[in-house]
A and B are shown apart, each in its own frame.
Chain A
Amino acid sequence: MKVEVIRDDGFWTEFILRDSNPAFANAWRRAMKSHVPVMAVDYVDIYMNSSYLYDEILAHRIGLIPLKTNLEKFNLQNQCVCGGEGCPSCQVSLRLNVEGPRVVYSGDFVSDDPETVPVFDNIPVIELFEGQQLMLEAVARLGFGREHAKFQPVSVCTYRVLARVRINESCSSCRKCVQVCPRNVFSVDEDRVRVIDEFSCTLCKDCLKVCEENAIELTETDDFLFTVESIGQMEVREVARRALDAIKSKAQEMVSLMEEL
């Protein structure tokens, strides 16, 4: 197994996983989505809310704001020394005390931990009008994507199987496949149909349907093209690495369970 990075700007990455299998590719995809913990606001103490939004809606909006996450610094609440009660090593408070008229942005939160701050400072949380006031304390903790989508470190996280496209000798150069292919995989070169862009093929098999000579051979390879977009808590590389760690520890747990049998 080998990973080949095609494009990576930190938060939007494309890479090819070579010589693998669908089971592993899908395990990795799912682990990236749901087995990498990130920080998000999960509990909000509202002392004063005279805005137009209900407390619940406001709390929901605050929960969706992504927070920069340093996984080395914090423990999962159920594995923390405090036993899940909440302490500085498993949770962070973000305070907000504002008065209208103004728009409240995510950057207005005052965090207890200078590293755990909103990824974006300019998310409009709520608009306050004359005489409206907001006083609250939001408590962030680590959580997994399977619990709530706000704990997901990635938004888009998909893969597709790369195809192997070959044209054999029985090709009559009828060019039907050239016309029908939605991804322009084929092209005509000196009266012969040639494969010019195998990489773009999505295995839709439209070319097989129009080819009367059965001259096209489409096969799935063992290569997978991943497209991963991070929400911003951490870079895609770190998400991918931590997802692999999660798979590994789960596999090891499985092995030890099997030995007990």
Chain B
Amino acid sequence: MFPVRCFTCGAVIAHKYEDYKGLIDSGKSPKEALDELGIKRYCCRRMFLTYKSVLKEFARYHGAVG
């Protein structure tokens, strides 16, 4: 799951994650999306840029592992 807060500065970022995903899906670059959402500091920006969801990966094996 996407981290609730930025690891470094502690600002809440998770409430913007779905908007970010929507902007990326609409064809915007990560830079444009982050600028639009007002994520200014690079500590918070990297939280979005480097996030990879693993929960969905787990779900693919649902049933196989119980």
Q: Which residues of A contact B (CB under 8 A)?
A: 52-53, 61, 64-66, 106, 119-127, 129-130, 149, 152, 155-156, 229, 231-232
Contact = CB atoms under 8 A, between A and B. Distances in A.
B27 interface: no
Interface of B: 1-2, 4-6, 9-12, 14-15, 17-18, 41, 55-56, 58-59, 62
A182 B4 CA distance: 35
Nearest to B6: A155
A3 to B, nearest CB: 24
Given A127-B1, A155-B11, 11 more contacts: A53-B1, A53-B55, A65-B4, A65-B12, A122-B15, A123-B15, A125-B4, A130-B62, A152-B10, A156-B11, A232-B12
A124 B14 contact: yes
A109 B59 CA distance: 24
B4 A61 contact: yes
22 contacts: A52-B55, A52-B58, A53-B1, A61-B4, A65-B4, A120-B15, A122-B15, A122-B18, A123-B12, A124-B18, A125-B4, A126-B1, A127-B56, A129-B59, A129-B62, A155-B6, A155-B10, A155-B12, A156-B41, A231-B10, A231-B11, A231-B12
- Would you list the 4 A-B pairs with minimal beta carbon distance, nearest first? A120-B15, A155-B11, A64-B4, A123-B14
A61 B1 contact: yes
A106 B1 CA distance: 13
A127 B55 contact: yes
Contact of A156 (B4, B9, B15): B9
A124 B1 contact: yes
Contacts of A149: 10
A124 B12 contact: no
